[in-house]
Chains A and B, each alone.
Chain A
Amino acid sequence: GAGVSQSPRYKVAKRGQDVALRCDPISGHVSLFWYQQALGQGPEFLTYFQNEAQLDKSGLPSDRFFAERPEGSVSTLKIQRTQQEDSAVYLCASSFSGSGYTFGSGTRLTVV
């Protein structure tokens, strides 16, 4: 597609519920990143894929967070047993070379 597509755009989850957030990167983009953006803050790195390989997951806040990109294209960020502090916008970005990447519009997750 023309841009990075994320779904759903909005997600309300009850505390303790599992959620899955999807990212469709720009076709042919090798690198894919997930960021978490709290209200009024800059995005914070979560994890990075090059094709299907997860090369850096140092930003994942806990073992409740899990990301995958099994075929080197679509990626899913899964959060298990959601907590209120997980409420944020989750941004996906992709790039061909690792710099100058394109962000999606994000998924706004609200945990109630």
Chain B
Amino acid sequence: QQQVKQSPQSLIVQKGGISIINCAYENTAFDYFPWYQQFPGKGPALLIAIRPDVSEKKEGRFTISFNKSAKQFSLHIMDSQPGDSATYFCAASRANQGGKLIFGQGTELSVKP
């Protein structure tokens, strides 16, 4: 059972465009929703995270939008750059599970110059 579903599987965006990646979750007990960025040969790196008491969080060019009623959240990358080309993972966790993360399947983003 896939508890966190991510789409699209791959995404191609022109430089300067907006990249949008979506995730849906099933377990309403989740209360922490991070996004991770992973480059080839490296471990995932935390990009931005949100808790369900807010609907949006922005850090620089990265924004998370959160819809609690729909059990969906998304990552928006504004002014996408070739250096943003990487694999992005959404994830979810529950506070009473010590930080154990359930990851989505990943989105491979390619930003074309």
In the complex, which range does the number of interface residues on chain A fall in?
Answer: 20 to 34
Distance between A13 CB and nearest chain B CB, rounded to angstroms: 20
Contact assessment for A43 and B103 in the assembled complex, using a CB-CB cutoff below 8 Å: yes
Chain A residue at minimal CB-CB distance from B4: A42
Distance between A71 CB and nearest chain B CB, rounded to angstroms: 19
Given known A-B contacts A55-B98, A99-B49, A44 and B103 have beta carbons under 8 A apart: yes
Q: Flag whether B61 is at the interface (Cβ < 8 A).
A: no
Q: Looking at the complex, which of A61-69, A72-80, A101-109 is the stretch in contact with chain B?
A: A101-109
Scoring B residues 74 to 113 as 1 if CB is less than 8 Å from chain A, else 0, what string do you get?
Answer: 0000000000000001010100011111111110000000
Distance between B30 CB and nearest chain A CB, rounded to angstroms: 12
Contact assessment for B97 and A106 in the assembled complex, using a CB-CB cutoff below 8 Å: no
Distance between B73 CB and nearest chain A CB, rounded to angstroms: 15
Contact assessment for A43 and B44 in the assembled complex, using a CB-CB cutoff below 8 Å: yes
The total of Cβ contacts below 8 Å across the A-B interface reads 62
A31 and B98 alpha carbons, distance in the complex (Å): 8
In A86-106, the 8 Å CB interface with B consists of 91, 93, 95, 97-106
A5 and B103 alpha carbons, distance in the complex (Å): 22
A106 and B40 alpha carbons, distance in the complex (Å): 11
A55 and B99 alpha carbons, distance in the complex (Å): 11
A106 and B78 alpha carbons, distance in the complex (Å): 30
What residues make up the interface of A, taking CB atoms closer than 8 Å to B? 4, 31, 33, 35, 40-45, 48, 50, 55-56, 91, 93, 95, 97-106
Q: List 18 A-B contacts (CB under 8 A).
A: A31-B99, A40-B106, A42-B6, A42-B104, A43-B44, A45-B100, A45-B102, A48-B100, A56-B97, A56-B98, A91-B43, A100-B46, A100-B49, A101-B46, A103-B36, A105-B41, A105-B43, A106-B42
